[in-house]
Structure 1
């Protein structure tokens, strides 16, 4: 009986508490009549955005489709289509008026594509929203007649055809690359083979080469049908630990043609540019853009039976004179189905010093290599440009970052077009700094890397450069640009082992002295259009200006080079 009374009292107390809650302003849940349907659902596609470009090494990639649908009454069905084909249908929803969903599509091939989200409500009203996106090849040839490109940046893949060669033995990579993050590095009894279609009566090959005198002879590039040397070609080297001679043999069907090339000094341990060209009547070997020797062709090259290219050895068809595996690093290998002119070769050499190129024509891609770029915050595009179709538009708390691997060298230069926004009155433009672990909330280690930034007021802004030399830093107080003109100006800076120079519109405006070469230790991140996250103590944060045609170089540009970059 006592328990019964206690239970009754408990229920009564609960009832009084709930009644009190209602009196205190907390209403019970009541059903609300939906009212009349005001129209079709609203559809928003959050990803991909209009004009999104996918750029990855894989031939087939994936994309995450993110969308939202709202309706004033009730969503009945949502369909997601790619290129007009339904890939997903939704009919059950946790919230029948507000829907947020994501679908992964795993068959994105190279080309133009559409994503459509089609939503239907209970009354049969239907709304569709469509965006366009594309998948580009990881590399688009930048030189005329280019049919093969192997940058050797951690992969042996030919980026033109997306073909991965067969590895024989244990070929590897050298971190000491001419360009990018890696170069091909041979090993004993090791080389690559890749399918090769006949290139016609005229063709060329080019690459950067750091010649080794060990072993004393080796094959470099060989495309043969058998051991008779009457088909295909053989590029190889012979000599000793002081000097190596680059030679070329070409098969003409009934015979063969020899080009005895010229010698390369082994001792400097330096990269040289090698090119050979084959036409119907002659061959030419070039070193660093200069013709070294010419060979005569009695008839055009014979491709009969030639099916593959061997890289880094004499391979199966040219090993009988001990032209075996090459231990010399090779970088930036290209084939062309035309005989290049000397001007073509020199232009290619000049372009090879460019390590980063971001035109900002509707995306944040680096066209010089397939580099990963991270977007922080919400940068945008300007809707105008100095060159091309668009430019980067900065925003508060927004910038780009990327790994610095493959971009750093003792000589360094950068060029870009710039339309300054003086608000805020100071900001960083390019930062390649080491992490300041002693000051995580106010980072400012200026003994490593570089920092290009601006300071001033609403009328004028001064472009300045700081370079770390290991134990100290060097300042270049730069030059001033008009902040009221709303005009594009061309900015360049160069770093050699002894000095820095800042250029504005092609004219050198100031020089800074370096007590030692730039020290890149720990400077493993590039920030574009902000000092964050590694140059923040003095408030050089996100730049809300416009920037276009950003380029990095692995050499010190001359005044003529800067003028040429400005004129491109």
Structure 2
């Protein structure tokens, strides 16, 4: 009988234990005593996050948790001060309420505030608030930019609006930890992102991004587009690319391998490509792949460069971000637990100057809040009572006594030239392989010859230096001069060793007695062609070998001085309005779009 009783007791004990499995431990409280107010934690949207989608409005998922020491009584959810949901008792778990299925519909552009207020049965309440924003769709800032991931609280690519597959548990660094914006990618063991390669497998490829290195583990994949491994164990380096890091005497060395189908090339800069991870600083990394070479950059400087016959993308259907997995793991280049921010991919090989411009923009040396009106626009002077450049909020330097016209094509005023007067503006951040400028122009031919827009090197070897200069091997010169009573508009472009002329002859002539009102002028420069437009029509064009910006420190606006004076192209007493620069070679249709805007 004793054994039977003992067995029954053991069975009851076992049942008690089994019935409590899976239930969160409950902290003992005095019955009926409510000591603390509820606690509210909002997990989505993330505080400070920026939502950018292609639609004018969007739906926002909302997730939060409320806990109380006795019992949650009610919950109220407000968006921008208006109640969007209420919950009144009847909670399955009356001390812990988790809501992850609430959606706010129709969020518009602007700043927004989400507030969750919880009240317990004793009347004590707590509110939690997060502020976030919705911005208009992102427009590519740079020519050929096809992917941009700022990691500001989400993983989305703001150009394709694709959301990558998330592997493992990566997270977001805080705004304080990020390089730019409200967040950054924060790696974790076994974590990375993947995207399909549709639209990314182009003959040329560039990537630029920032990392704050966590050297544990001591090697990792960063950005890879490789085919599946041979036999599941061997890296197939003959196609695609892998950009990764590994320990080199305590420092981290960054390397690139790229495949051309029949083989692969290494781009290993040795000690030049080493970075000390102990500094805890953000490092800019970039690499470019073309049909003739590949280059690796660290903080805007070349650390590895060599010939390359062109990339083979066969079977490269996955882009891995912050890991070599799944297709480049033979040498243990797995997940990178570093931070990453401001990832951009291009469908062309960007230049060193462009890399440095992007670095300056991303790092805050130049972060413009002015939205471009036209694709590729990155400089705008409206001359509305000042000489302010709108993207940089920086005024041009005055030489002499330029003035204002008291009239304009757009806005409230325009630039008015004067004798021995012009403006200068630094070229930093404005030099690109492709360049265009547009403006409105009201001619004053008091001076037969005049410079309109000039940038060039000092001509220190000229016998008349500094008053007389005319070195044309770099930069460009856009000017006008008298030809039989007409004013002919010409462009000269230097490629580093020689100069090329764009002179349309009579096509580029304007009769100053007839053209007494505003005319529209434009110049476009690419790696192979330069064109001059008057009133939206090409009046001169020529094949060129690109533009070289060596020693071109500033633009002269309204004069050839000081670097283009030998032939008398000095100050222009004409009027200029709506001066814009672009980091691309505009098409005729784009020139006309600007003119007709």
User: Normalising by structure 1, what TM-score?
Assistant: 0.54
**How far did 1:525 drift?**
2.4
Tell me the alpha carbon deviations over residues 484-538 of structure 1, each in whole angstroms, 9 at most, x when there is no partner. Answer: 3333443222212233222233332223443x42111232222222222322232
Within 2, Cα distance between the matches of 1:123 and 1:422? 51
Q: How does 1:443-482 map onto structure 2 within 5 Å?
A: 444-457=235-248, 459-478=250-269, 479-482=273-276
Within 2, Cα distance between the matches of 1:438 and 1:421? 31
**How far did 1:26 drift?**
4.8
**1:67 equivalent among 54, 64, 72:** 64
Q: Is 1:116 the equivalent of 2:115? A: yes
Does the aligned pair in 2 maintain the 1:387–1:548 contact within 8 Å?
A: yes
- In structure 2, the CA distance between the partners of 1:36 and 1:539, relative to structure 1 (3 Å rule), is same
**1:380 equivalent among 172, 193, 196:** 172
- In structure 2, the CA distance between the partners of 1:529 and 1:69, relative to structure 1 (3 Å rule), is same
- Tell me what 1:496 maps to: 290
- Tell me what 1:125 maps to: 124
Within 2, Cα distance between the matches of 1:423 and 1:394? 11
Does the aligned pair in 1 maintain the 2:187–2:322 contact within 8 Å?
A: yes
**How far did 1:365 drift?**
4.5
- Tell me what 1:257 maps to: none
Q: Is 1:427 the equivalent of 2:230? A: no
Does the aligned pair in 2 maintain the 1:434–1:445 contact within 8 Å?
A: yes
Tell me the alpha carbon deviations over residues 177-199 of structure 1, each in whole angstroms, 9 at most, x when there is no partner. Answer: xxxxxxxxxxxxxxxxxxxxxxx
Does the aligned pair in 2 maintain the 1:452–1:466 contact within 8 Å?
A: yes
- Tell me what 1:18 maps to: 8
Q: How does 1:95-114 map onto structure 2 within 5 Å?
A: 95-110=93-108, 111-114=110-113
Within 1, Cα distance between the matches of 2:206 and 2:268? 17
- Tell me what 1:355 maps to: 146
**How far did 1:458 drift?**
6.7
Paired residue secondary structure (1:424):
coil
- In structure 2, the CA distance between the partners of 1:518 and 1:76, relative to structure 1 (3 Å rule), is same
- Tell me what 1:36 maps to: 33
Within 2, Cα distance between the matches of 1:27 and 1:493? 60
Does the aligned pair in 2 maintain the 1:418–1:545 contact within 8 Å?
A: yes
- Tell me what 2:91 maps to: 93
Paired residue secondary structure (2:278):
coil
Does the aligned pair in 1 maintain the 2:140–2:159 contact within 8 Å?
A: no
Within 2, Cα distance between the matches of 1:28 and 1:431? 49
Tell me the alpha carbon deviations over residues 451-473 of structure 1, each in whole angstroms, 9 at most, x when there is no partner. Answer: 10011157311111111223432
- Tell me what 2:429 maps to: none
**How far did 1:369 drift?**
4.3
Does the aligned pair in 1 maintain the 2:172–2:186 contact within 8 Å?
A: yes
**How far did 1:391 drift?**
4.4
Unaligned runs of 5+ in 1: 1-8, 144-350
- Tell me what 1:189 maps to: none
| Aligned residue-pair number | 347
Does the aligned pair in 1 maintain the 2:48–2:182 contact within 8 Å?
A: no
- Tell me what 2:299 maps to: 505
Within 2, Cα distance between the matches of 1:391 and 1:79? 31
**2:47 equivalent among 46, 50, 65:** 50
Does the aligned pair in 2 maintain the 1:74–1:121 contact within 8 Å?
A: yes
Paired residue secondary structure (1:484):
helix
User: Normalising by structure 2, what TM-score?
Assistant: 0.51
**How far did 1:65 drift?**
1.9
Within 1, Cα distance between the matches of 2:130 and 2:218? 38
- In structure 2, the CA distance between the partners of 1:86 and 1:501, relative to structure 1 (3 Å rule), is closer
Tell me the alpha carbon deviations over residues 213-253 of structure 1, each in whole angstroms, 9 at most, x when there is no partner. Answer: xxxxxxxxxxxxxxxxxxxxxxxxxxxxxxxxxxxxxxxxx
Say which is worse superposed, 109-118 or 26-35, in terms of deviation. Answer: 26-35
Q: CA RMSD in A?
A: 3.5
- Tell me what 1:483 maps to: 277
- Tell me what 1:135 maps to: 134
Within 2, Cα distance between the matches of 1:527 and 1:459? 26
Tell me the alpha carbon deviations over residues 360-411 of structure 1, each in whole angstroms, 9 at most, x when there is no partner. Answer: 4565444444333444413322624556666444333333333322222111
Tell me the alpha carbon deviations over residues 312-339 of structure 1, each in whole angstroms, 9 at most, x when there is no partner. Answer: xxxxxxxxxxxxxxxxxxxxxxxxxxxx
Unaligned runs of 5+ in 2: 21-25, 362-597
Q: How does 1:111-260 map onto structure 2 within 5 Å?
A: 111-137=110-136, 139-140=137-138
Does the aligned pair in 1 maintain the 2:62–2:104 contact within 8 Å?
A: no
Paired residue secondary structure (2:279):
coil
**How far did 1:476 drift?**
1.5
- In structure 2, the CA distance between the partners of 1:494 and 1:459, relative to structure 1 (3 Å rule), is same
